[in-house]
Structure 1
Amino acid sequence: MSIDFESRKEEITKELLAAAETAGFFSLVDHGITVEEINNQFALSKAFFDLPQEVKARIPHSLETNNGWEYKSQIRPSTGVPDQKESFWLQRDSEWPSDEDVLGFSAATKSFISKCEVISKQVLACLSIALGFPEDHLNEAMDVNAPDNLTQMRMIHYMASENAVGTWRAGNHTDVGCLTLLFQRDGEDGLEVCPGRETHTDSSIGDKFSPIPAKTGPIVVNIGDMLMAWSDDRLKANFHRVRAKCEGKSPDRYTIAYFNTGRRNVVMQGPLKK
């Protein structure tokens, strides 16, 4: 996307808006992060999750900052049981694994985060224009250099299971933030989406979920509750889930999510001030 972004901004804006107003999900290609860089980041993620639990637990998940390692701790209201995954939340100034634990983790991951920041700014600039705001309107609320910034990267590992019947890798939910960038790996399917939500306060879920195949390279992007509210419900934050296979073994699934969550002390309102 970033390769010829400036010359195609108007065209890209129309395409993003059409997807954001309906499915609330879209995929980005030619975005400036190579498959090699994505594979390298997944290799670092796997190396971290392969560490003994006592080593990962040196950076425990903090309820105050939401950073750190967590294990089967997220319970969705839609299921009432823990998601079958572990994850590692990171921000620029959070605690990082040492090179002794995962060689090169900090330097490579910070570079990867910087590239996610660039892509996010481009998408948010397009959506700002589409909503009738100045181009930098949404990005001012996302400023990652501000001390009250809440944007995070989350590395996720859904553990393999021999019999996943009755379990959920991630139950039905919407993302609470503004905009999510999701990286997946070839063959590690499971993500399903359900369009049809009308308002950001609507908790009803439709009955038709559609799978989004996992591919290395394209970035799956979705609207969060925050942006749905800021757009007066025009852009849709739709429900999605990660489903295990109904029969047989569900293999490991690794994903990397970049959550544009906004700044704690910024108040935003939609064009209609709804």
Structure 2
Amino acid sequence: MAKPLVPTISLKDFENRRDIITKEIIDACEYAGFLTLVDHGITVDEINAQFAISKAFFDLPFDVKARIPHDVKTNNGWEYKSQLRPSTNMVDQKESFWMMKRSEWPSDNDVPNFRETTSKFISKCEGISDKVLSCLSIALGFEEDYFRKGMGIDEEDSLTQLRLIHYMASENAAGTWRAGPHTDIGCLTLLFQRDGEDGLEICPGRESSHSYGIGDTFTPLPAQTGPIVVNIGDMLMAWSDDRLKANFHRVRAKDVGKSPDRYSIAYFNTGRKGAIMQGPGKKNPPITCGQWFNEATERQFGAMSKRRQEVALKEDGKTATATVSAAA
């Protein structure tokens, strides 16, 4: 029987099963670049609570959300239909809110319990990420805490982020990309989805972090509440001398009928600004994670001006009286 493209890996009894788990993770990351985690320590109730917080934020009036506009320099804040995909030359049909531990967050007056619920959720994501990253550190020949130190989540120059995402419902989106084919900027992504809100598709086969060719075969990965989809990002692909694969993925609208609202939550482990990334075999020249992050963010968001976001809002019959950053 053939192995599944995206294996399901249990973190149960992690310390005693570390060697087995490490092998399972590295096998998945060397080809598909994707895996699904279960027995990870975040309950379905905790996941649903964070999704409720996310929906409450996106249900706010546009001018309230725009009080914290997206800034291309930090990649934090609220953006609306502002992510232009080079793969399609089209703008993703979604809005999102990016945040770091030390960035500005929505007020509890606007979204009750936002900070408490989200802070606890981030802490859980940190613990899971530490386990996966320790396995990858060892497999690549580094010290066990190598990537944990490289992420530096408690350091002032940490770039690790949580992103709340909302794909708006559409009556006429059949066959289009709610998010065009892309790879992630950072090192390791934890993605949370909800039952029935499908659309994620993945495409293995990328060989180099400097190559952006897209294959022909995308495989759907059904959405489930509970399991965490984990994938490698460009930064870690380069940092591993291309051993770990950051493969393309997209979010596709339904082929028939209405595409309903889709919510997802992504926790992006990203090397801190001052960390030097270079693989064990030194295949690629050294570069700071900060430089990598800035260049990648500019590619994804820099093409969208303040005026273009305002046009998108106007076309949707919305208004945002607050200032929207030039990056958004």
Structure 2 length normalisation: TM-score?
A: 0.82
Which consecutive segments of 4 or more residues in structure 1 shift more than 4 A?
none
Alignment partners' CA distance in 1, 2:58 and 2:34:
28
**What is the aligned partner in structure 1 of residue 250 from structure 2?**
241
The residue aligned with 1:90 is: 99
Aligned equivalents of 1:205, 1:242: Cα separation in 2: 15
Equivalent residue in structure 1 for 2:112, among 103, 106, 115: 103
Cα contact 1:27–1:220 (8 A) shared by 2 = yes
- State the AA in 1 paired with 2:158: N
Query: Which consecutive unaligned segments of at least 5 residues does structure 1 have?
Result: none
Structure 1 distance, partners of 2:278, 2:90, is 35
Report whether the alignment pairs 1:4 with 2:13.
yes
Distance 2:80 2:11 in 1: 35
Q: Which moved more, 1:123-132 or 1:159-168?
A: 159-168
Q: Which runs of 5+ in 2 are unaligned?
A: 1-9, 284-328
- The aligned counterpart of 1:20 is 29
Match of 2:43 in 1: 34
Taking the aligned partners of 1:3 and 1:141, their CA distance within structure 2 comes to 25
State the Cα distance separating 1:166 from its structure 2 match.
Answer: 6.1
After the TM superposition, which of the residue ranges 131-140 and 183-192 deviates more from structure 2? 131-140
Residue 222 (structure 2) aligns with: 213
Amino acid at match of 1:146: E
Structure 1 SS opposite 2:265:
strand
Q: Which amino acid aligns with 2:96?
A: S
Q: 1 CA distance for matches of 2:176 and 2:67?
A: 28
The amino acid across from 1:143 in the alignment is G
Q: 1:264 pairs with 249, 273, 283, which one?
A: 273
Whole-angstrom distance in 2 between the partners of 1:92 and 1:228: 25
Q: CA offsets, 1:32-59, max 9 Å, x none?
A: 0000000000000001000111111111
- Contact kept, 8 Å, 2:77 with 2:98, in 1: the verdict is yes
Q: CA deviation at 1:81?
A: 1.5
C-alpha distance in 1 between matches for 2:12 and 2:254 = 37
Superposed, 1:101-180 pairs within 5 Å as 101-165=110-174, 167-180=176-189
Superposition deviation, residue 253 in structure 1: 0.4
Aligned partners of 1:84 and 1:167 also within 8 Å: no
Q: Deviations over 1:52-83 (max 9, x none)?
A: 11111111111221111110000100111110
The answer to whether the aligner puts 1:190 opposite 2:203 as a matched pair is no
Render the CA deviation track for 1:128-173: whole Å, top value 9, x for unaligned. 1111111011111101111111010000000000010364210011
Q: 1:178 touches 1:225 (CA, 8 Å); kept in 2? A: yes
Aligned length: 274
Q: Secondary structure at the match of 1:112?
A: helix
Q: What is the RMSD computed on CA atoms of the aligned residues?
A: 1.0
SS of 1:249's equivalent in the other structure is coil
Answer whether contact 2:197 2:262 (CA < 8 A) is retained. yes
Separation of aligned partners in 2, 1:4 and 1:227: 26
